[in-house]
Structure 1
Amino acid sequence: MPEAVRRVARVVLLDPDDRVLLLHGHEPDDPARDWWFTPGGGVEGDETREQAAVRELAEETGLTGVRLGPVLWQRICSFPFAGERWNQDEWYYLARTDRTEVALGGALTELETRSVAGLRWWTSAELSSTRETVYPTRLAGLLRALLDEGPPPRPVVLPPDIV
């Protein structure tokens, strides 16, 4: 991946029980180095971030027809993955679904096929008590604030996350 900053759209997808959907990822050649993260990915061509978020959600989970809400959070992050340094400008959109039966989508990229092991719904309490790595960092508190206070009036800029 070049040093340029990749524009990314992510989805904070909540089910009727206010659980958030996370994907389980890992280093392609080292499944023991793993983490959980929100669905989403890079903006392609001239699509908007909103279009990218909806496309990525469908590709990764098979969920279609999901209507995006507001942008909740924005963050800059940089991390090593698959032997390269990834620099990203991420926007996190709120969305809700009544569909809780989800599975990894059939439109994963080759890299995603080698590095995404599954997905599951997480409660706020589970996020707060887990010892597993979750991105964005502090997601447990962010989700709790979202559930208690509703979406922020404008996107919250999170501290940069450099690994």
Structure 2
Amino acid sequence: MFIRKVAAVILINPEGKILIMKRSPEKKVHPNLWGLPSGGVEIDEELEKTAIRETFEETGKAISNIRRGPTLSVKVPGGVHEINYFLAQSNSPEVNLDKEHTEYKWVIPAEALNYKFGIPQAHVKKVMEKFGLLQI
């Protein structure tokens, strides 16, 4: 069993909406499910750098005001993803999706809970609560 460190970003636009993206049906992990900009940490890479790099690779967007959040683990085929969450801002709604995703939406945080994510809904809710994005 492997453990893979992952950085995931809750990206907020000026309207207070967050970016969610639908994974390609060809993906081995969580095909056709919604998620956040995220990806694995490369050798000797700091978590925040991974968050910045993966967000740019998957969306074409630079991010600012990055804040570290909780770390939660998720079982995947053959192992575990240790997901390190970040909150960041984007200054525009334009997104240039990579080939790993088929569509994206900017949604109010509470609305995101209505989408089927690859990670447990309880994790999505917990992370958004930790960042103060949901009224508890």
Instruction: Please give the range of the TM-score, normalised by the shorter of the 2 chains.
Output: 0.7 to 0.9
Aligned to 2:105: 120
Large movers: runs of 4+ above 4 Å: none
SS of equivalent residue, structure 1 residue 95: strand
Q: Contact 1:63/1:102 (CA < 8 Å) preserved in 2?
A: yes
**Taking structure 1 as reference, are residues 144 and 16 closer, same or farther at Cα in structure 2, changes over 3 Å only?**
farther
Quote the residue 2:46 is aligned against: 48
User: Aligned to 2:121, what secondary structure does the other structure show?
Assistant: coil
What SS does structure 2 have at the residue aligned with 1:72? strand
Consecutive unaligned residues of structure 2, counting only runs of 5 or more, are none
TM-score, scaled to structure 1: 0.68
**Contact 2:17 2:108 (8 Å CA) reproduced:** yes
Q: 1:88 and 1:18, CA in 2 relative to 1: closer, same or farther beyond 3 A? A: same
Distance of aligned partners of 1:44 and 1:142 in 2 relative to their CA distance in 1, 3 Å threshold = closer
CA offsets 1:19-59 (integer angstroms, 9 cap, x no match): 111110144179xx621111010001211011111000000
- The answer for the alignment partner of 2:75 in structure 1 is 78
How many pairs are equivalent?
Answer: 130
Q: Which has the larger radius of gyration?
A: 1
> How far apart are the structure 2 equivalents of 1:29 and 1:61?
17
Change (3 A) 1:93 1:125: closer
Distance 1:4 1:144, change over 3 A: closer
Q: Map 1:60-99; keep pairs closer than 5 Å.
A: 60-64=58-62, 66-80=63-77, 85-99=78-92
1:147 maps to amino acid:
L
| CA displacement at 1:74 relative to structure 2 | 1.1
Please give the root-mean-square deviation of Cα atoms over the aligned residues, in Å.
Answer: 2.4
| Secondary structure, counterpart of 1:93 in structure 2 | strand
